[in-house]
Amino acid sequence: MGNALQWARDSHPQIVEFRRRFHRHPEVAWEEIQTTAFVADRCRSVGLNVRLLEGRTGLVADLNADRPGPLLAFRADLDALPIQEEAPLPFRSAIAGKAHVCGHDAHTAMLLGAVGILARIREQLPFPIRFLFQPAEEVVPGGAKAFIDAGYLDGVAEIFGLHVTPQLPVGTLGTRSGALMASMDRFELTVTGLGGHGAMPHLTHDPLPVAAEIVLALQTIVGRRVDPLEPAVVSVCQIAAGDAFNVIPQECRMAGTARSLSGGTGKRLEQWIGEIGEGVARAHGLKAVLKYEHGTPVLANRAESVEKMLRAFRALGGRDQEIPATMGGEDFAFYLERVPGCFAFLGAGSEATREGGSLHHPRFGIDEEALAWGSATFVQLALDRAAQE
């Protein structure tokens, strides 16, 4: 049917142009107005049916919408991060305090490259394909939930997604069956006591030492309550209290994240955080209130879909490896709760990126040769399905 990687390499200059355009003009979650408009125009220009997410950003585009059969779906995310870029790129972010330092510009460009290739060979594809250009992956609740609520997953039989990483070399794909990424929850504990003069602590109920004790006690959850063979994280990442150096505050607020690779452990983390926070505070005559927000679920790949992704990548001449699960979170997990699919990490590292940072780092960078591999992977997945029909 053709060489997907060669087609992608032929399109590589345009895919690079797309990526650099998005990189120069980053838009954070739910603000991807220009990005959405550009992608929609490109999809319409090659004959796809486009639907915008009503009242928000993001879109889905369908190829061969009039053909029978269950939908094959591919997803990319659009949003940037509220981070000041430090990488010395000629196409660095033109917007202060916003940057594509997680690779979503590459994801959108790769999928847009695949759109152009698959549109040219649409007659070889006897089934419909849906492209999900999703907003707001970096926030909770994110764009995946909004897309599902809008019905964009209706009729989809299988879904695939890629995430670039400089931790793997170009030409390499990393994934695994089962749990690949952790659930991602947010918690906030507010300790309330009795404030007063810093010189008279005996007349107060100081929430600060109690909060400090709670932070230390929370570390016993992973160390002493979770099965040692079960990955979990409880991290307090913010503490806020007080307005003056000589005033004991009335309350102290702490916030953090709880993560696990199984739903059962995730539910118990909420229980244990609440018990420890409230128990320690009560022992000192203070009160602690837990606010717990469930974010993304565990991202669990379906074995059959993983094999399809690996088979497609091998057909391109790429290398693959089973990678360990990560405690990072991804709202692609919401799709995988509903339909089979596979999420994988695409190698984008090389000598040129060695001095850069990892995901979410101000100096994050990728080798743009990876863009052709990403587009080609989506195309090959479609070609493989066509060969089976």
The beta strand positions in 142-286, using DSSP E, are 156-169, 172-175, 178-181, 183-192, 196-197, 232-241, 247-248, 251-260
pLDDT of res. 264: 86
Q: What is the DSSP string of 354-368?
A: TTSB-TT-TTB---T
Mean pLDDT by 10 residues, the chain (389 residues): 88 98 98 98 98 97 94 98 94 97 98 98 97 96 96 97 97 98 97 97 97 97 94 97 97 97 91 98 98 96 98 98 96 98 97 81 96 98 94
pLDDT of res. 287: 98
Provide the residue type at 332 as one letter. F
**Helix axis angle, 12-24 to 370-388, nearest 10°:** 120
pLDDT of res. 2: 64
pLDDT of res. 257: 97
Domain 183-296 has CATH 2.40.220.10: no
Class of domain 4-179+298-388: alpha beta
Task: Outline which parts of the chain fall under CATH 3.30.70.360.
Answer: 183-296
Return all residues near 153 (Cβ < 8 A) that are at least 6 apart. 73, 147, 159, 335, 338, 339
pLDDT of res. 355: 72
Task: Outline which parts of the chain fall under CATH 3.40.630.10.
Answer: 4-179+298-388
Provide the residue type at 19 as one letter. R
Cα 18 from Cα 142, distance rounded (Å): 24
Cα 183 from Cα 263, distance rounded (Å): 8
Cα 91 from Cα 102, distance rounded (Å): 16
pLDDT of res. 57: 98
pLDDT of res. 324: 96
pLDDT of res. 285: 97
